[in-house]
């Protein structure tokens, strides 16, 4: 995996994955973004998770639409508009937690990197349930 940054889109696998939502028809984009977290969340503990980079990228797109989320700014992220992605918010949080649980390729690569853990901590905070009445924004 080519990696140049600790952010959600800072590696070859995530950048390549982002082409999928861009290439898909608008009605299929939310399903593609939701499929990566679903796969990770369904990977049982103790089973090696080798495509967690897709999970982190997809979760970042979901988090970007959450009130505490950071914009998904990246030259390698999707360029086309995305629909409302906040429905899979709990699944995206569960999936990021799975990426952070061994055995996981991203965890193995970034385990000792504070910048990666900081990025995933911010991602988890954005995906966590918020106060009642909190409104998501599309963006």
d(CA 100, CA 134): 27
**Tens-digit pLDDT profile for residues 84-119:** 998 889 999 999 999 999 999 989 888 888 999 999
pTM as predicted: 0.89
DSSP string, 21-88: HHHS-GGGHHHHHHHHHHHHHHS-TTS-B--HHHHHHHHHHHHHTSTTPPP---TTS--S------TT
pLDDT, one tens digit per residue, over 18-59 is: 889 989 998 999 999 999 999 999 999 899 998 899 999 999
Q: What 3-state DSSP class applies to 11?
A: strand
């Amino acid at each position: 995996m080519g990696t140049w940054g600790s952010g959600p889109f800072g590696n070859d696998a995530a950048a390549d994955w982002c082409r999928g939502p861009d290439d898909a028809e608008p009605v299929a984009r939310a399903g593609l973004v939701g499929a990566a977290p679903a796969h990770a969340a369904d990977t049982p503990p103790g089973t090696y998770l080798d495509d967690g980079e897709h999970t982190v990228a997809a979760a970042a797109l979901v988090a970007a639409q959450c009130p505490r989320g950071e914009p998904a700014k990246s030259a390698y992220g999707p360029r086309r508009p995305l629909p409302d992605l906040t429905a899979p918010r709990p699944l995206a949080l569960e999936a990021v937690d799975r990426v952070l649980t061994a055995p996981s390729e991203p965890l193995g690569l970034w385990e000792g990197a504070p910048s990666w853990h900081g990025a995933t901590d911010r991602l988890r905070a954005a995906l966590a349930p918020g106060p009642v009445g909190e409104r998501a924004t599309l963006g």
